[in-house]
Amino acid sequence: MTALLSKLQTTPSGVQSATDYLPYGQLRLTPEVWRYLEQGSGKGLTMQANAQALDDVKLMSRPLAEVKGGNTRLNIFGQQFEHPLLLAPIAYQRLFHPDGEQASAMAANAQSGQMVVSSLASQTLEEIIKASGQALWFQLYWQGNRPRTLHLLKRALAAGYSAVMFTVDAPVKQAVMQLPDGISAVNLEASLPMSAVPFNSSMVFDGWMTQAPTWDDLAWLRNQLNEPLLVKGILHLDDAKKILSLGCDGLVVSNHGGRVLDGVPGSLEMLPKIVKLVSGKANVLFDSGIRSGQDAFKALALGADAVMVGRPYVWGLSTCGALGVAHVLRLMRDELEMTMALSGAENLKAIKVGKFLNNLTKDKR
């Protein structure tokens, strides 16, 4: 077995894009951890669909535009960030670097951005937000029932988290690898015991799914919060419509990066339809498959208010901790700015209202 390379203390020379970090990160993780990070579900069809959907969108060069003084600033929920590249919630980040979620949170703040901290974080919510030095967002998984969910939610809010992202497309989390000693979901209570499933009953319907959230639970959750509530994992128009009717502040068009239900469409395929339905009544974020600033531009041009970056920042984290995460964000922001400049868009609003995609692509909206 090849020995793992040690973490770097500086960013590696020659790295010019987020994807350049991939081999550096892989060489510093065990095969088991690397598979956990990179694998999709099933045959990986949804992961392929995410990449293909982004590749299929063609840009349109718009030279001679006046873009001097342009910027990538994002204003959302009364908060301002210098760019729309949010760090997606990724579990157990001490698998990838000893500094774990604290390193990612520090990097997000250093790059004037935002991180969404997972319910399955491997460091305490309080430690992470203290290291960050700013109010972070919290990603909430249903905890099997309302009292347990409310307990976790109140803890996050008391720690200073300023928005809640409720993930609904992975209603029952299942371990896909044996966690090493010393790494666990430290913010969660012990799992609820599974109720005995009657003979000839379904382990899925009458076992696992008895602890999954429902629309009634989402309505209840909305009533527990004064803070912004986003719902992550939405692909179907009817689901988006119902989320609006419940008064949620936003939704995240996402297929969980291809990690849950294999064979669903690439998230980008559904984004324009959901944006049209929402029609400014809530914020729409995009997740799944973003690998570059150019990918981010495509999602923004198709109507997203912001995008979520997942695996690429973990490649940077695995390589050199907070420095790597910050470098990934800076590289992707530079790519986004360059794509904007060459497309004639001076800010995020201009991306949305401009004609920066190939006409054939625009006609599909």
Q: What is the 3-state secondary structure (H, E, C) of 294-308?
A: HHHHHHHHCCCCEEE
Name the catalytic one among 83, 97, 151, 256: 256
Count Cβ atoms below 10 Å from residue 214 Cβ, excluding itself: 12
Q: Could you tell me if 162 and 227 are in contact, meaning their C-beta atoms sit under 8 angstroms apart?
A: yes
156 alpha-carbon distance from chain centroid: 18
Residue 237: its H or E element: helix 237-245
Helices 293-301 and 267-278, packing angle to 10 deg = 40
Q: Could you tell me if 289 and 267 are in contact, meaning their C-beta atoms sit under 8 angstroms apart?
A: yes
Please provide residue 213's backbone torsions phi and psi, each rounded to the nearest 5 degrees.
-75, 160
Give the position of tokens 């919630």: 89
**Spatial CB neighbours of 253, under 8 Å, sequence gap ≥ 6:** 234, 235, 267, 270, 271, 274, 284, 285, 286, 287, 288, 304
Q: Could you tell me if 352 and 301 are in contact, meaning their C-beta atoms sit under 8 angstroms apart?
A: yes
**Paired sense of beta strands 74-76 and 79-81, if any:** antiparallel
Q: Model pTM? A: 0.93
Provide the CATH topology of domain 74-172+202-362.
Answer: TIM Barrel (3.20.20)
Question: What is the predicted pLDDT for the residue at 171?
Answer: 72
Question: What is the predicted pLDDT for the residue at 365?
Answer: 40
Question: What is the predicted pLDDT for the residue at 2?
Answer: 67
Domain positions in the chain are 74-172+202-362
Q: Which tokens sit at 119? A: 């319910």
Task: Determine the Cα–Cα distance for residues 75 and 80; give it in Å rounded to an integer.
Answer: 4
Q: Could you tell me if 259 and 272 are in contact, meaning their C-beta atoms sit under 8 angstroms apart?
A: no
Q: CA separation (Å) from 107 to 33, 103, 246, 321? A: 22, 6, 34, 9
One digit per residue, the tens of pLDDT, for the chain of length 365 reads 568 999 999 999 999 999 999 999 999 999 999 999 998 778 889 989 999 999 999 999 999 999 999 999 999 999 999 999 999 999 999 999 999 999 999 999 999 999 999 999 999 999 999 999 999 999 999 999 999 999 999 999 999 999 999 999 987 655 567 899 999 999 998 877 766 777 777 767 766 666 789 999 999 999 999 999 999 999 999 999 999 999 999 999 999 888 888 889 899 999 999 999 999 999 999 999 999 999 999 999 999 999 999 999 999 999 999 999 999 999 999 999 999 999 999 999 999 877 778 744 444 44
Question: What is the predicted pLDDT for the residue at 173?
Answer: 53
Q: Which tokens sit at 24? A: 């550096």
Q: Which tokens sit at 81? A: 């960030």
Sign, CA torsion 360/269/21/137: positive
Give the dihedral of Cα atoms 261, 262, 267, 272; nearest 10 deg: -90
Q: Can 327 be counted among the known catalytic residues? A: no
